[in-house]
Amino acid sequence: MTMTYKNILTAKEAVGAKSGKADQPEINIGVVNLHRPTVLNALNHELMEELVTALEDFDRDDSVRAIVLTGSDRAFAAGADIKEMSDETTVSIMLKDRFATWDRIKNIKKPIIAAVSGFALGGGCELMMMCDIIIASETAQFGQPEINLGVIPGAGGTQRMTRVLGKYKAMELILTGRPLTAREALEMGLVNKVAPVELYLEEAKAMAKEIAAKSPIAVKLAKEAVLKSFDGPLQEGLQFERKNFYMLFSSEDQKEGMKAFMEKRKATFTGK
Ligand code: CAA
């Protein structure tokens, strides 16, 4: 069944030519495009629900062997939707449990290859880091700018970025909010490969098709085993990070930081 979504586009692409033999299964890759172009693919709740539904559908579809997740050339995603959360309080944001949707992405068994161009900031960078392989365009920029809004990353950034970059680089990026260029990200091991903007998506699809041709059960178990190396302590870290993220919605700095963003002015933080 083909679903129609408001904030994403989905497609299946066949891998190789069909042999015509009845016993040869159909092999595809699934492609999901984040598609809120007017807000640089800001990740609101509705988009995240649609994204998870599409990923879970591809995960259940035996013909799909690998998934490509992409945005536009200008933005993979510029973060969680600031307008949607600016008025939240600690209690309201905890009750909404907005990251429950994100948690479901962790349970996708098929490999997800991120094809990233333009802004991959805040939740956009965190979503990218939940993927298994990352192909970036030369124009991509990566960062956790939440500190400029008076908050901290809330969807795994403090944990996943630190595991990839190590304490000191992660600390620098998370405390300054400064973004990395694609070349810097490649040197630091945050992305697998950098390609020209005309080619990054094709490269990601080619990688997905290469993996799609392998044994699906081996691919599934290999992904599961690699992820196992992160599991135990990561869960504790994620819970810890989430509590702190929620706590910040009691602060004046969060209100000021998000209000200033929407009013297109520089925030004045007081530490309260
Ligand atoms: N949420 C909501 N709207 C956003 C957005 C976001 N994260 N990022 C961009 N937009 C909107 C802008 O408000 C703007 O909308 P209007 O045209 O209605 O004003 C539109 O997208 C285009 O953005 P800009 O005009 O700002 O484009 P630019 O090229 O001048 O700047 C940018 C691009 C540097 C990415 C800038 O938009 C920006 O700084 N965005 C916010 C980045 C950010 O702070 N992300 C972290 C969010 S918090 C988070 O993600 C928490 C978490 O861990 C889960």
- Name the percent of the chain lying above pLDDT 90: 82
pLDDT in tens, 193-208: 999 999 999 999 999 9
**Residue 184 is a catalytic residue:** no
* CB 118 near ligand 1, within 6 Å: no
| Total domains, the chain | 2
> Is residue 118 domain-shared with residue 232, that is, in the same domain?
no
Residue range of the domain that includes 149: 8-212
Mean pLDDT value across residues 176-182: 98
pLDDT at 172 over 70: yes
CA of 261 to the centre of ligand 1 (A): 8
Task: Please indicate, yes or no, if residue 267 is contained in any of the structural domains.
Answer: no
C-alpha 194/C-alpha 115 separation (Å) is 10
Task: Please indicate, yes or no, if residue 68 is contained in any of the structural domains.
Answer: yes
Task: Please indicate, yes or no, if residue 272 is contained in any of the structural domains.
Answer: no
Residues in the chain: 272
> Is residue 95 domain-shared with residue 25, that is, in the same domain?
yes
> Is residue 75 domain-shared with residue 135, that is, in the same domain?
yes
> Is residue 190 domain-shared with residue 222, that is, in the same domain?
no
How much is the pTM?
Answer: 0.93
> Is residue 149 domain-shared with residue 224, that is, in the same domain?
no
Task: Calculate the alpha carbon distances from 174 to 8, 57, 146, 221 in Å.
Answer: 28, 34, 8, 33
Q: How many CB atoms lie within 10 A of CB 271?
A: 7
Q: Which residue in the block uniquely carries the two structure tokens 């559908």?
A: 57
CA of 156 to the centre of ligand 1 (A): 19
> Is residue 220 domain-shared with residue 203, that is, in the same domain?
no
> Is residue 189 domain-shared with residue 234, that is, in the same domain?
no
Task: Please indicate, yes or no, if residue 270 is contained in any of the structural domains.
Answer: no
> Is residue 256 domain-shared with residue 179, that is, in the same domain?
no
Task: Please indicate, yes or no, if residue 87 is contained in any of the structural domains.
Answer: yes
Active-site choice (30, 79, 122, 123) = 123
**Residue 263 is a catalytic residue:** no
* CB 85 near ligand 1, within 6 Å: no
Task: Please indicate, yes or no, if residue 44 is contained in any of the structural domains.
Answer: yes
**CATH (domain of 175):** 3.90.226.10
Q: Specify the pLDDT at position 68.
A: 98
pLDDT in tens, 1-49: 567 899 999 999 999 866 566 667 789 999 999 999 999 999 999 999 9
Task: Please indicate, yes or no, if residue 129 is contained in any of the structural domains.
Answer: yes
> Is residue 221 domain-shared with residue 121, that is, in the same domain?
no
For ligand 1, mutation pick of 82, 103, 130 (most atoms within 8 Å of CB):
82
> Is residue 245 domain-shared with residue 187, that is, in the same domain?
no
Task: Please indicate, yes or no, if residue 55 is contained in any of the structural domains.
Answer: yes
**CATH (domain of 234):** 1.10.12.10
**Sign of the torsion formed by the C-alpha atoms of 230, 191, 97 and 176:** positive
> Is residue 258 domain-shared with residue 179, that is, in the same domain?
no
* CB 40 near ligand 1, within 6 Å: yes
> Is residue 12 domain-shared with residue 32, that is, in the same domain?
yes
CA of 49 to the centre of ligand 1 (A): 20
